[in-house]
Each structure stands twice: as structure tokens, then as C-alpha cells.
A and B are shown apart, each in its own frame.
Chain A
Amino acid sequence: MSDRTTTPNEAAAETVRSRPRRPWRPRAGVTPEQAFRFSPRTMGTAVGLFAIGYLVLAFQMPDYTAVSVPVQPSTLPRWLGVVLLVLAVLLFFQRAPVDEAAAADSTSTDGTSTDADPAQDAARLGRLADPRLEIGLFVGALVAYVALFEPLGFVLATALYLGSMTWYLGYRRHLVTATVALSLPFALYAAMTWGLGVVLPSGPLPF
């Protein structure tokens, strides 16, 4: 049920058919478009707190005394902090948009498929029921990749990241995944390090 609305070539490429994968359903409580969406009050408060923190630091900044300068390095930050605080207050008192979900739906699907399939059944990438966890997981994977970037070296870390993410996101041609995950990092490494002299970390690999 989930994939039939897509074009043939895509369905073939990005098949979700054979494995019983949970198609995402709105009943999960949070639609993907609502995930991480906050009310103006929450946002206003967050921005306001940021502005206050920024201002505190701005007022702690030392003045430059060696030579007399007409504008201190802290002058603009103080003004920016005040402006941001005012904007945060304005944001706080904005009305929450009512038609948010509807608007989001029509914008976050793309133009060509809106007519065919606006919102309901198409599958999302990933495997978790809650889109917020999905985003969290993705960011977590990115952080892990970055953390391993130098210890493992570019080639290994990238191969690991590419392979696992592509698999996780549901691409089922494992041979293609493996080929891409193994050859692309090496090709990039070769081009950057040997071709251009932009040295990427090699990690434990001997080259």
C-alpha cells in the first residue's frame, strides 16, 4: 500500500516491498511535520534566554584601553542583545498559527507528487515510529561519524557511515550499497590527498 504511488523506477530503486517494514502512520501521535515544531511562546522564551545569556557575556567583555577607540568591541554585541530581546518578546506574543499542519503538509511534499499523494500513506525513510527519535538517531550517527573521522581515518569512517546509513534508511540493494560505501570514500581520498594535496586523515590504514 505504501509505495504504489511512486513512479516505477523509483519504486524499483527504493523498494520497501519485500521486507515487512512498518509504514509510518499518523497515529503515532506526532506527524513528521509537527516534530520539533514549537509554539511562539516556547520559541520566544528560548530566544529570549539566549539573548539574556548573550547580553551577560557582552557586559562582561573587557574594554580596549591601550588606545582610545570610539566604539568598543562590546558595543555592537550589547545592541544586538537588546534587539534580540525585543524581538523575542514580540515573538512571544505572536499568535500560534492554526493551520500549521495543513500548511506544512502541502509544502513539505514536493510539487510533482502533491497532486498524486498529498500526505497519507507514503513511506518515510528510516525505521522508527517517532520521527523525533529518527532525527535524533540521524544526528547521533553524524556525531559518531565526526568523532571517528580522525581516529579511524577518512576512508574507514566514511565507508562505515555510508554503508550503515544507506542500509538503515532502507536501501535494499546491498551489493550497490557495499560498492558505493567502499569505492567512494577511497576515490574521494585519492582525489583529495594525492590529486590535490588536500590531506585527509588516513587513520590506521597504511596509505
Chain B
Amino acid sequence: MLRMTKTHVSPGTPGSGPARRTPGFRAAAVGAALPLVLAACGSGSGTAEDGTWAPTEAIEITAPAATGGGWDTLARTGARLLEEEGLVDQSVQVVNKPGAGGAIGWAYVAGHGGDPHKLFVTSPPVLLVPMAGNSDHDHEDFTPIARLATDYMVYLVPADSDVETFDELAAQAESGEFSVGGGSGPGSMDHVALAGALTAAGTDPASANYIPFDGGGEAMTSLLGGHVDAAVVGTGEALGMLESGDMRAVGISSPERVEAVSDVPTLVEQDVDFTFDIWRGVMAPGDLDGAQVAYYEELFAELMDTEAWQEESARLGWTDAYQDSEEFGAFLDDTRDEYAEILTEVGLQ
């Protein structure tokens, strides 16, 4: 069954619960996918008794994209808030390493193995780009630090469309006459979100006519102009269109309804057993020791507790979805398996 497991978001209650910030290093649970962390933890727990680790020089957050993109926004917002809120003693710098859908930036960070001052921001492409064979590094080469926030996909049709439910959309899509626009290329986020949902609805995702656009905005204008019949885009991007009533969402990929668009039914409600997160998180180079990971886990948990973060993330349409290093690592592995399954269905793997 295609499901995003363990993606329980704690909506609206960000910094709650002491449990999530306990740096629990129950190594057994992590599984074989994180050998680097495991090794680090093994030795780290021995040395960490002296005390905790703290950065000794400026922290560098890499955005594996150009200035202005989603990763850049996350990196710069994070860096600014970390400094402004006085959470770090060192300065926090943002470095942009754009190119190859992120692969250039990942190669840069991977080249600094064991350097605890080089973080980078991450989201589903860190799984999808390596799967497409376009990166020399995948998520297993890095140490997960924390998952921070998430956003969801909505499935849009024009306001006057006959399509009322996701099942109807799926049936139409299978006919092949029905084109669905998305904001990214085949095999990437938007396509996976569509294909996974179609499979879960019992239709063949390979028969859908997916039209890749440059960004959700272009996909939505094409939908408005009647050039495509449906579109799959991030919730944040679609908010304006949904409010104005120009478009209707027949489903959202969240496990529960999302406050900002509370009248949009989830896929799960419609008996389509599929959820999809556009999660965002922070990772570090491989070979970090336990104390270092613990420091950053704590740091980002604190960051998310601040009012400033809450304000920012609300504006950017994100939902808090904190996971610590270990949970995040396991999540990444599960998610990758799920993506692989979806891509195989479409014939892209």
C-alpha cells in the first residue's frame, strides 16, 4: 500500500512535548541505512559524557539552489532567525550552490565529510534526484539533523469543471484525453504526487497525460486558460486561487484536513489511501558524532519554538513537522522506498 508512514504532523502545536527534543539514540531503530550516524553515535555516546558539543566557528548553511528559491528561502530564514533569536554564539552564513537540481550543492557538502559546521537544507528532491541517476550522492551520504516543516499538494480543477472528487479526476485521467499540469519535470515531486494518488485510486498512472511546467504558477495559469484540464501544485501556491474561487481542489495530500483550506477533503477521506508531504529539513555531512547531532537537533527544536519561526512559517504556508535525526533518517528511508514504488508504476524506474 502506498502510504507515507510516520508523517504525523503535530498541527498547530509546534514546540510541544519534551519527547521530540530528547536526543534519543536508540541505535537499533535506525536501521542499516544510516551507518555513518550509527558509527558516530557509537563512539559519540562514549565521549559525550564530558559535556555537549558546540560550534567553534561560523556555521554555514548551504542552499543547493540559487538565491530566491524555496531552499534559499528556508536557508536564509533559518539563518536569520538563528542569529536574531540569539540561539547560536557563532554567526550563520548562507552559501548558495545551485545546479543539477541540487546535486552540485550535495557534492559540495559531501566533500566536507565530518565537518560539523556545514549544514544544508533539504526536501524531497534529495531523494528523487539521486533516484533519477542525476546525482553522485544520495541522502545516505549525509547525516539527517531534523525535519522542520511540511506542505502538501492539492489537486486542482477549474471552478466550472464536472470533476467533483478525486476518483472522478482519476477516471478522467486514465482516459488519456485529460491533461494534468504540474510544476516540475517527470519523475519529480509533482509527478510523483500525482502518480502515487492515481495508483492509490486504482488507476494506471502511466496512462495519465502529465504536462510538466516550470513551476506551479505556470501550471495554474495554464489551467485557468483551459490549456490543461487539471493541475497538481503545492498548497501554498494555490491559496490565492482557491480563495478567489477560480479553481476548486478535489483533494489534498495531507493526512488530515489543513486549516488554511479546511473545505478541501483529503484523499484519505475519499478512500484514496495516499498522503504526500513536501517536507523540509536540515542535513549535515556524513561522519558527525552524536554530540554534534544532538546539538543541532536541540538547536532547531528551539528555533521552531520561537514566535518568529511560527510567524514566518505561517506566512510561507508551512506546517510544523519536527522530527529528530533518528526519526528523520528512518523517514527518509521509508519515503525513498515509497517513491521508488510509485516511479516503477509509472515506468520511470
Contacts and interface: CB of A to CB of B under 8 A. Distances in A.
Interface of A: 65-67, 197-199
A1 to B, nearest CB: 53
A198 to B, nearest CB: 7
A67 B210 CA distance: 9
Given A65-B347, A66-B347, A67-B209, 18 more contacts: A66-B186, A66-B206, A66-B346, A66-B348, A67-B186, A67-B206, A67-B210, A67-B346, A67-B347, A197-B76, A197-B93, A197-B94, A198-B67, A198-B96, A199-B93, A199-B94, A199-B95, A199-B96
Interface residues of B, number: 13
Contacts of A66: 186, 206, 346-348
Nearest to A65: B347
Nearest to B93: A199
Nearest to B79: A197
Contacts of B96: 198-199
Contacts of A65: 347
A94 B93 CA distance: 57
Interface string B335-349: 000000000001110
Interface string B17-51: 00000000000000000000000000000000000
A198 B346 CA distance: 40
A66 B206 CA distance: 8
A199 B58 CA distance: 13
Interface string B48-75: 0000000000000000000100000000
A202 to B, nearest CB: 11
A65 B347 CA distance: 8
A66 B207 CA distance: 10
A51 to B, nearest CB: 27
A65 B67 CA distance: 35
Contacts of B95: 199
21 contacts: A65-B347, A66-B186, A66-B206, A66-B346, A66-B347, A66-B348, A67-B186, A67-B206, A67-B209, A67-B210, A67-B346, A67-B347, A197-B76, A197-B93, A197-B94, A198-B67, A198-B96, A199-B93, A199-B94, A199-B95, A199-B96
Q: Is the interface of A mostly helix, strand, loop or mixed?
A: loop
B124 to A, nearest CB: 19
Contacts of A67: 186, 206, 209-210, 346-347
Contacts of B209: 67
B205 to A, nearest CB: 10
Nearest to B208: A67
B202 to A, nearest CB: 19
A67 B93 CA distance: 43
Looking at A65, A66, A198, A199, the one whose CB has the most chain B CB atoms below 10 A away is A66
Nearest to B94: A197
Contacts of A199: 93-96
Contacts of B93: 197, 199
A65 B346 CA distance: 11
Contacts of B186: 66-67
Interface in B290-349: 346-348
B26 to A, nearest CB: 38
A187 B347 CA distance: 54
A65 B210 CA distance: 14
A154 B54 CA distance: 29
B209 to A, nearest CB: 8
A181 to B, nearest CB: 27
Interface string B152-196: 000000000000000000000000000000000010000000000
A109 to B, nearest CB: 41
A66 B76 CA distance: 38
B157 to A, nearest CB: 21
Contacts of B206: 66-67
Nearest to A196: B67
- Which of A65, A67, A197, A198 has the most C-beta atoms of chain B within 10 angstroms of its own C-beta? A67
A194 to B, nearest CB: 10
Interface string B195-236: 000000000001001100000000000000000000000000
A196 to B, nearest CB: 9
B60 to A, nearest CB: 8
A66 B95 CA distance: 37
Contacts of A197: 76, 93-94
A64 B209 CA distance: 14
Nearest to B176: A68
